Amino acid sequence: MTQTLAALPHSKVASYRTYWSTGSPQFISAGGRATYAVLAMQGSDNGAQQKSYDAIKKQLDARGLRTQVGGLVPTNETIGKQVTADIGRAEGFSMPVLLIVMAGDLREPGGG
């Protein structure tokens, strides 16, 4: 883990904290088999931090590590993907109904 984090570009990762850098037991699981790393991404706003995260996220999947990410930037990315998928699905469901309503409205006298 320390090698993976040390290899991350400083232009994308402002800092990181781990058990090994802090000595804090908050970074170790109760069973001692899992640890946490807190990364601060470079960027002055959410968009810039998202770009920094996008640039390094594949590097976090190092061989021998099981990685799970969390926090504001990855959560925003997941929400954005889900919203995009949901909008597409909603449009797919609503389009046939909308076309039927529009066709019915055109047949009515005085319809749009």
**Domain range spanning residue 64?**
1-69
CA distances from 14 to 9, 36, 59, 74 (A): 9, 17, 16, 16
Are residues 18 and 27 in contact, defined by beta-carbon separation less than 8 angstroms? yes
- Indicate whether 63 and 74 sit together in one domain: no
- Indicate whether 10 and 45 sit together in one domain: yes
Q: What is the mean predicted confidence (pLDDT) over 17-43?
A: 88
pLDDT at 111: 53
The tokens for 73 are 């930037």
Are residues 68 and 1 in contact, defined by beta-carbon separation less than 8 angstroms? no
pLDDT in tens, 54-105: 899 888 887 777 877 777 777 777 777 787 777 878 888 787 777 777 777 6
- Indicate whether 45 and 74 sit together in one domain: no
- Indicate whether 83 and 65 sit together in one domain: no
Are residues 79 and 73 in contact, defined by beta-carbon separation less than 8 angstroms? no
pLDDT at 9: 94
Q: Is pTM beyond 0.75 here?
A: no
- Indicate whether 65 and 84 sit together in one domain: no
Cβ burial of 28 (10 Å; 0-12, 13-18, 19+) is middle
Are residues 49 and 73 in contact, defined by beta-carbon separation less than 8 angstroms? yes
pLDDT at 55: 92
26 DSSP 8-state letter = G
Are residues 59 and 8 in contact, defined by beta-carbon separation less than 8 angstroms? yes
